Chain A
């Protein structure tokens, strides 16, 4: 269990790439609390696995330091860092029994056999693997194997952190729910620092207390699920979290109003924007109202997804999604109205503050 300090971590996969400034991980400078459950969320290739492997020591960062509980571990090899990691695809030792698979990390560290037995049985019970303890790992199904990998990640009682690299990719959807809630429960009972990499927002939002959203090698926001939803600090977060994502449209500012295609939109305050370039307005589809007398829009289609309706429309030439409750009527000649408190103003993709 440890507090993880990422001190100006940067990584490029080759010296040539570094010279070009082509970093897989641009600069990560952050501290993760002891016992926290973090999810690293982002699209493929955004550097989340790189960051994870830097924490576990499989990759040495090209720049920056990493510390556990304030102790610099940048130069320590993986074995010495006392980290557990579960990979995307199941890794089991085929020739061993399920029991021996779990005992392996403990035996390698010369834990007394009595203690090994106690711990392995505990974890077997926790992960529902007791019935197959004596079975060889070969010939089990993919999700059973992944459960073994998970269990092997959990078996050491003294690890600094447990890292999960998209561990549920190969698991059946109904089992996914179960395992995810088991993990969550395990986190509460064990107090391990857990870092969970995923590109699935549901997975991230249900597992983690704090979600770390990454985009093109950078952390764009760290926050609770609510913060990510209500105040995305980067247009990418707005787009990536939520379904459908946030509506983002180029706009001009005039004091407390934003202008899009000649339509004036009231804001909750005066955005603190400097002279810099591209200004955009972002609003979640959930905070757009459809009513008579609103700003003129053209409705293209309405998707009924059960409990909600998604309206795909165009506003001043920009696509606009609106989420309505299922029983909400769409008035004829409907116009749009944006909830002022839910509007965010973005300068060069980053959210800017407002003055009242």
Chain B
């Protein structure tokens, strides 16, 4: 059969192209534009080549916030993934408690970022916050405003509280899809609890775990609102992650050129790491 070619169909896609252009491509190109230019005011720009980029890559401040961000993502992944699996494994599979647990789990996910920040900002305060007050009454010297370790602790616990549910729900969904016969067969075969996890439950959760890790990595790498509300990046620069640093640079100092360069590098890092994650995961998947 001969194929008929009709390029008029492209017109159908045009509205989407226009929309994407205005929402993504044009803003992104503006950023690219800023990143290679400099200005002395009066809206007059001149070509600056790759100077902002080389300055950025040589600045200690950038590498500090980048490594803070990587450590943060690493820590919350190391906490949320195992914890999420553990909770999912222990959630009831049938009965009235299923819906109770599911609603409880979904609650944190429904709360807006800045509200989560506010909750923990108040919760951790030493004067009126339940957690901060109790911790200090019990003799712990806890103060997230002054102590970097306490600030990190608060930001990490907050993220675990906010997002572990996502991992739980994803894992739970794949766990309940395992037919009973698998568990019965495992019993017949005399498999230990660990073997059941290793050979039945984990393989089943593999795909959703890939998604959970990717989502949590990207989200935590872009985190802004919650630490901004709780610590504002402090004390000092101790909780200044890339996005907080970027906003400080762009809006605080109004250094549009360096901020644009940083945006692009930031974007490329996320793209690169996500690609690596995905490739590694799918490659090991294909191997099996």
Contact = CB atoms under 8 A, between A and B. Distances in A.
Given A79-B187, A87-B181, A94-B288, 7 more contacts: A56-B184, A57-B187, A83-B188, A84-B188, A91-B181, A95-B199, A109-B190
Given A93-B199, A95-B199, A108 B179 contact: no
Nearest to A83: B188
Interface in A54-95: 56-58, 77-79, 83-85, 87-89, 91, 93-95
B59 interface: no
A136 B195 CA distance: 17
B192 A77 contact: no
A203 B184 CA distance: 24
Contacts of B288: 94-95, 136, 138
A104 B185 CA distance: 11
Interface of B: 179, 181-182, 184-185, 187-192, 195, 199-200, 203, 288
A85 B195 contact: no
A152 interface: yes
A295 interface: no
Nearest to A100: B199
B179 A89 contact: yes
Nearest to B192: A108
Interface centre among B181, B182, B190 (most CB of A within 10 A): B190
A234 B273 CA distance: 71
8 contacts: A83-B188, A91-B185, A93-B203, A95-B288, A104-B199, A105-B190, A108-B189, A109-B190
A91 B190 contact: no
A89 B189 contact: no
Contacts of A108: 189-192, 195
Contacts of A93: 199-200, 203
B189 A88 contact: no
Contacts of B190: 79, 105, 108-109
Contacts, number: 54
| Top-6 shortest CB links A-B | A105-B189, A108-B190, A91-B185, A78-B187, A87-B181, A93-B199
| Most B Cβ at <10 Å: residue of A83, A91, A95, A152 | A91
A285 to B, nearest CB: 39
A104 B188 CA distance: 11
Nearest to B199: A93
A88 B181 contact: yes
Size category of the A interface is 20 to 34
A315 to B, nearest CB: 47
Contacts of A220: none
Contacts of B184: 53, 56, 58, 78, 85, 87
Contacts of B181: 87-89, 91
Contacts of B192: 108
A96 interface: yes
A86 B189 CA distance: 11
B203 A85 contact: no
Contact of B182 (A57, A85, A91, A136): A91
A108 B195 CA distance: 9
Contact of B187 (A58, A95, A136, A138): A58
B174 to A, nearest CB: 13
A271 B180 CA distance: 49
B185 A87 contact: yes
A76 B253 CA distance: 73
B94 to A, nearest CB: 13
A53 B190 CA distance: 16
A149 B182 CA distance: 11
A74 B188 CA distance: 16
A313 to B, nearest CB: 46
Q: Which of B185, B187, B200 counts the most A-chain CB atoms under 10 A from its CB?
A: B185
A109 B179 CA distance: 24
Contacts of A89: 179, 181
Contacts of A104: 189, 191, 195, 199
B188 A105 contact: yes
A109 B191 CA distance: 9
User: Most chain-A Cβ atoms within 10 A of its Cβ — which of B179, B189, B190?
Assistant: B189
Contacts of A78: 184, 187-188
Contacts of A95: 199, 203, 288
A108 B193 CA distance: 11
Interface string A104-135: 11001100000000000000000000000000
A65 to B, nearest CB: 21
Contact of B189 (A57, A58, A136, A152): A152
